[in-house]
Structure 1
Amino acid sequence: MSSGIALLVIDIQNKLATAPQTRIPRCEEIRAAVSAILAPLRAPTSRKCNNCGWLVSKTVRNAFESNTALPRRLRAAGVDHIIAFGIQSECCVVETCKGAIAAGFGVTLLSGAHSMYDGRGKLVIEIEHEVEAELRDLGAQVIGWRGWLASLNKSELKAEI
């Protein structure tokens, strides 16, 4: 079986990404990154992925903990590597990435395509870097979203979640 990737778009909610009263500080940058990442994959001329548009709900920060069948479903679709991005870096993004690693998937976090609020006496950028370092220490790759997108081989895409 050939290796395949799944895009894991984590918690891009209207409240966090667009609502003026509650949006994260870098919401415009994150929305632009998400649009750029998804646009070529959804274009009519693009080779469609095998399982585009899964919607996976969760009750805890880690989507793999909330959905115990998710690893089996991903493997059945030919997925062995997760590409992750989204909102709240220090909550659902990091916990879902750790869940994917624990389930045996390779993980790549797209730098510049995940964010959150300032907090714990730290700025957004500091927290983003801490999350990236934590995931690197666990074996994940962290690469800039623009570089990843430029090198994307769409035939590897097996699922968009």
Structure 2
Amino acid sequence: MTSRTALFITDLQTELLTSPETRIPHADRILTASTEILTTARSIIDAHRDTNRLSPSLIVFVQHEENPTTGGTMIKGIEPWELHFAPRESVEEEIVVGKNMDDPFKSNRGLAQKLRSAGVTDIVVLGAQSEKGVEATCTGALAAGFRVTLLAGAHSTYDRDGEGKMAVDIEREVERRLSTRGARVVGWEKAVRGWVERQRVG
């Protein structure tokens, strides 16, 4: 089987992306980037489907779920938990993976094998929050033996006012840490241009 790439859209849920009271400071930037990234990935998938070819790309929508007994607000079934982008029901290359901890691979013990069985060798990550779901997804994917690319400019988090640390500083710190662990960090616009040229994600 030809090697395939899975695009992980991590925790882009109402609470983090669109709720005026709780969304991350750079939500508009992430929304713009993720919309274009998803549109491009879907166009590549559709081009292969239209000609009955196996798509080299999959899309994984990661959805975080919290426990109300511990004060969490992203509770399954209520608005803050809802995905901003949802998979198309008729497209088998688009799936949802739920999780109850930052790392979807630890939360779903069979996920790595499921991806490998589908021919996935590479994982591309974007989303929120940089130092939580995004970093943990990349770290889990690396530990499972996948090649990992983090899309710079397409992930972010909250400012840490008490520490005097802005979201963009945290973004860069996460990128540096992941680079030292073996992940590739690429600006999302450059990445998307390459996908269009090659007609595959990654």
TM-score by length of 2: 0.73
2:183 counterpart of 1:132: no
Distance 2:126 2:46 in 1: 24
Secondary structure of the equivalent of 1:113?
Answer: strand
Secondary structure of the equivalent of 2:177?
Answer: helix
Distance 1:114 1:133 in 2: 14
Gapped regions of structure 2 (runs ≥ 5): 50-54, 59-91
1:46 aligns to what? Answer: 47
Gapped regions of structure 1 (runs ≥ 5): none
Structure 1 range deviating more: 65-74 or 33-42: 33-42
Secondary structure of the equivalent of 2:119?
Answer: coil
Q: 1:60 aligns with which of 91, 98, 101?
A: 101
Q: Offset at 1:3? A: 2.0
Q: 8 Å contact 2:15–2:23 — kept in the other structure?
A: yes
Letter in 2 for 1:36: E
Distance 2:179 2:28 in 1: 26
1:116 aligns to what? Answer: 157
Q: 8 Å contact 2:150–2:185 — kept in the other structure?
A: yes
Distance 1:108 1:151 in 2: 13
- Cα separation, partners in 2 of 1:138 and 1:23, compared to 1, 3 Å: same
Distance 1:156 1:9 in 2: 13
2:11 aligns to what? Answer: 11
Corresponding pairs, count:
157
Percent identity over the alignment is 42
Letter in 1 for 2:39: A
2:199 counterpart of 1:154: yes
Q: 8 Å contact 1:81–1:107 — kept in the other structure?
A: yes
Distance 1:38 1:125 in 2: 22
Secondary structure of the equivalent of 1:22?
Answer: coil
Letter in 1 for 2:109: T
Distance 2:96 2:3 in 1: 22
Q: 8 Å contact 2:30–2:156 — kept in the other structure?
A: yes
2:136 counterpart of 1:91: no
Bigger Rg, which one:
2
Q: Offset at 1:155? A: 4.2
Letter in 2 for 1:125: V
Secondary structure of the equivalent of 2:23?
Answer: coil
Q: 8 Å contact 2:152–2:188 — kept in the other structure?
A: yes
Q: 2:115 aligns with which of 70, 74, 80?
A: 74
Distance 2:40 2:133 in 1: 25
Distance 1:156 1:22 in 2: 31
Give me the CA root mean square deviation: 1.7
